[in-house]
Amino acid sequence: MSKRWFITGGTPGGFGMAYAEVALEAGDRVVLTARRPAELASWADQYGDRVLLVPMDVTDAEQVVQAVRTAEEHFGGIDVLVNNAGRGWYGSIEGMNEASIRAMFELNFFAVLSVTRAVLPGMRTRGSGWIVNVSSVAGLLAAVGFGYYSATKYAIEAVTDALRQEVAEHGISVLAVEPGAFRTNAYAGFADEPVAEAIPEYHDMLEQVRAAFVDMNGVQPGDPHRGARAVIAAMAQDPPPRRLILGNSGYDAVIDALEQNLGDIRSNETLSRSADFLA
């Protein structure tokens, strides 16, 4: 049966549009939200009434509620929610501007909660649905210079794991997706903004981080459409996975990090077990 998708973070050349196009390839219908939907109008025209563009700033709670209501009224419900909207920026743990930290959590974490909580009542009533939370490889492996971005994605991982267990009995499935480096426009802004760091001792480190992203822009190995197709394939598995890492380098980095973590934990098993009261 045709599914009804609600996808956040619609931007030209972005992952949100890739999810939308792959869903449309499968014969589904799509609500794609964006802060500036007019930029997507010519793209949406080719799909006729199978695409609905809805203006929405995910950090505006009233807009979120209205956008979900509009989608449900237009298509009769939402079968798949893709929490795709988000942004990452760099800075040291010690020196990053607090306003920037809080803004990143508002966009990458609290906005995901707002959209999810707005969509869940309809899914519970119907007894079915899918929630796909776009995390990051940085949500499983903290990245130097991106500590706060990683923190937002670690938070998404935790909420996704808990939510999956809470809604399973209501027929709702939940998947965390962890992309590595994908060829979207996400890295385009790094070339235009110099390092802004309050503490000089971290400047060189952050300049190296910035330069790496500038060099990678436009040559990232990940194909957004292939990534979106992998997500749809994962959703079709029985049982589906709890999480899906996307991209070769991301997969290898996460496996290496998890094995190191397991090694650290196991090497201190005696100390860990010594912390209980004696029998």
Q: Edge to edge, what strands does the sheet with 80-83 contain?
A: 51-55, 29-34, 4-7, 80-83, 129-134, 172-179, 243-246
Which of the residues 153, 154, 173, 187 is marked catalytic? 153
Beta carbons within 10 angstroms of residue 18's beta carbon: 23
Domain 4-248 CATH assignment equals 3.40.190.10? no
Integer Cα distance of 28 and 90 in angstroms: 37
Higher pLDDT, 119 or 184: 119
Is 135 designated active site?
yes
Q: Which two tokens stand for residue 57?
A: 């700033």
Domain ranges of the chain: 4-248
C-alpha separations of 149 from 100, 132, 202 in Å: 10, 19, 17
Q: What is the mean pLDDT of residues 167-183?
A: 94
Cis before 239 (ω within 30): yes
pLDDT in tens, 43-70: 999 999 999 999 999 999 999 999 999 9
Tens of pLDDT, residues 78-137: 999 999 999 888 899 999 999 999 999 999 999 999 999 999 999 999 999 999 999 999
Catalytic residue among 92, 114, 135, 173: 135
pLDDT at 215: 84
CB 40 within 8 A of CB 53: yes
- The burial class, CB within 10 Å (0-12 / 13-18 / 19+), for 263 is exposed
Alpha-carbon dihedral 99, 36, 222, 205, rounded to 10 degrees: -20
User: Which residue bears the tokens 């080719």?
Assistant: 46
3-state secondary structure of 182: strand
Phi, psi angle pair for 244, to nearest 5°: -140, 115
Whether pTM > 0.75 for this model: the answer is yes
Active-site option among 19, 90, 149, 154? 149
16's CB contacts (< 8 A; 6+ apart) are 7, 8, 9, 10, 32, 34, 82, 84, 85
